[in-house]
Amino acid sequence: MDLATFLVQCLNAVQYGLLLFLVASGLTLIFGIMGVINLAHGSFYMIGAYLAFALAPYFGDWFIARLVVGVLLAALFGYLLEWAFFSFLYRREHLQQVLLTYALILVFEELRSILVGNDVHGVPAPGWLAGSFPLGELMSYPWYRVFASAACIVVALALYWVVNRTRLGMMIRAGASNRDMVRGLGIDIRLLYRVVFAGGVALAALAGMIAAPLSSVYPGMGGSVLIICFVVVVIGGIGSITGALIASLLVGFVDTFGKVFFAEYSGVFVYLLMAVILVWRPEGLMKRGF
């Protein structure tokens, strides 16, 4: 492998990692901070992608407006979902959470089938991002992929700022480490959780919307990201945003170079990485809330 190819592969790894981070960050918020095992997270990603597909005809090239509207809808949806279902789950066992969120997967998949059907659909990238630039001799790199990476970096920075520099972030971190103490200090933890959950859903949906032009939308697309997201969350340390970022990039690199050098066994490396890290640091790379 020459240097140019190596650099392109690094770019691929970073880009994949960043997109993973966007989905996984929502999961680490919900799973880590609220303690809910949310198997339906992949469905939120799928809902985001289908939102992008459904909204596309109305917005045309107003791509950013489409993202904003989609995120707001998803956040509202998450807020209602928390109120209707998840708020009853915090004190229950994990098994019941798994049952509810699994049921939600089935419901969302069936709704998707009824509303949109089972066909694969393409989602157009906005006109102003449609081109690509040459990279190496034969390859070119689509601008949309650059945009997707940039959007992920912006979201990562914004999340870091919210969690570490704002009052809301302080409450979230406090809620992650000691729920009862936070409540004792007079903070409305139910409202806080509702906001965090809505935020987590919005992040997953945003990831789905950004990924839609790259991946198309198709039945079962949520399931494929769910497992890898749990891997990222567990490697990064449950409830840690920074950990999720590091873990996503690690997974991105391991997956990319695993595929290139050991095609036959490429499926194994990500899980091997997880096993090694769990032996080394059973709690994951970073502490909860950081």
Partner 1 sequence: MSQSFKTTLVAAALASCAFGAHAQGAPIKVGFMLPYTGTYASLGNMIENGFKLYVQEQGGKLAGREIQYFKVDDESEPSKATDNVNKLIKRDNVDVLVGTVHSGVALAMAKAAKENNTLLIIPNAGADAITGPMCGANIVRSSFSNWQPAFAMGKVAAEKGHKKAITITWNYAAGAESVKGFKEAFEKGGGTVAKELNLPFPGVEFQALLTEIAAQKPDAVYAFFAGGGAVKFVKDYAAAGLNKSIPLYGPGFLTDGTLEAQGPAAQGMLTTLHYADNLDTARNNAFRKSFALAYKAQADVYAVQGYDAAQILGAGLKAVNGDIAKRDALTAAMHKVTVDSPRGKFTISPAGNPVQDFYLREAKGNNNEYRSIAVKALADPARGCKL
Contact residues: partner 1, CB under 8 A:
1-2, 5, 8-9, 12-13, 15-16, 113, 117-122, 124, 132, 134, 136-142, 144-145, 214-216, 218-221, 224, 255-257, 259-260, 263-264, 266-267
- By beta-carbon proximity to partner 1, the closer residue of 7 and 191 is 7
Minimum gap (Å) between residue 111 Cβ and partner 1 = 13
- The position carrying tokens 């809620």 is 175
Q: Angle at Cα 63 formed by Cα 19 and Cα 206, nearest 5°?
A: 35
Minimum gap (Å) between residue 9 Cβ and partner 1 = 6
- By beta-carbon proximity to partner 1, the closer residue of 16 and 193 is 16
Minimum gap (Å) between residue 5 Cβ and partner 1 = 4
Joined tokens for residue 222:
């949520």
Minimum gap (Å) between residue 164 Cβ and partner 1 = 30
Quick check: 105 and 43 in contact, CB under 8 A?
Answer: yes
Residues 6+ apart with CB under 8 A from 256: 9, 12, 13, 16
- By beta-carbon proximity to partner 1, the closer residue of 69 and 214 is 214
- By beta-carbon proximity to partner 1, the closer residue of 35 and 142 is 142
- By beta-carbon proximity to partner 1, the closer residue of 97 and 256 is 256
Minimum gap (Å) between residue 230 Cβ and partner 1 = 16
- By beta-carbon proximity to partner 1, the closer residue of 3 and 84 is 3
Minimum gap (Å) between residue 71 Cβ and partner 1 = 23
- By beta-carbon proximity to partner 1, the closer residue of 164 and 224 is 224
Comparing C-alpha atoms, which of 229, 225, 214, 209 is closest to residue 48? 209
- By beta-carbon proximity to partner 1, the closer residue of 121 and 287 is 121
Minimum gap (Å) between residue 22 Cβ and partner 1 = 14
Minimum gap (Å) between residue 101 Cβ and partner 1 = 19
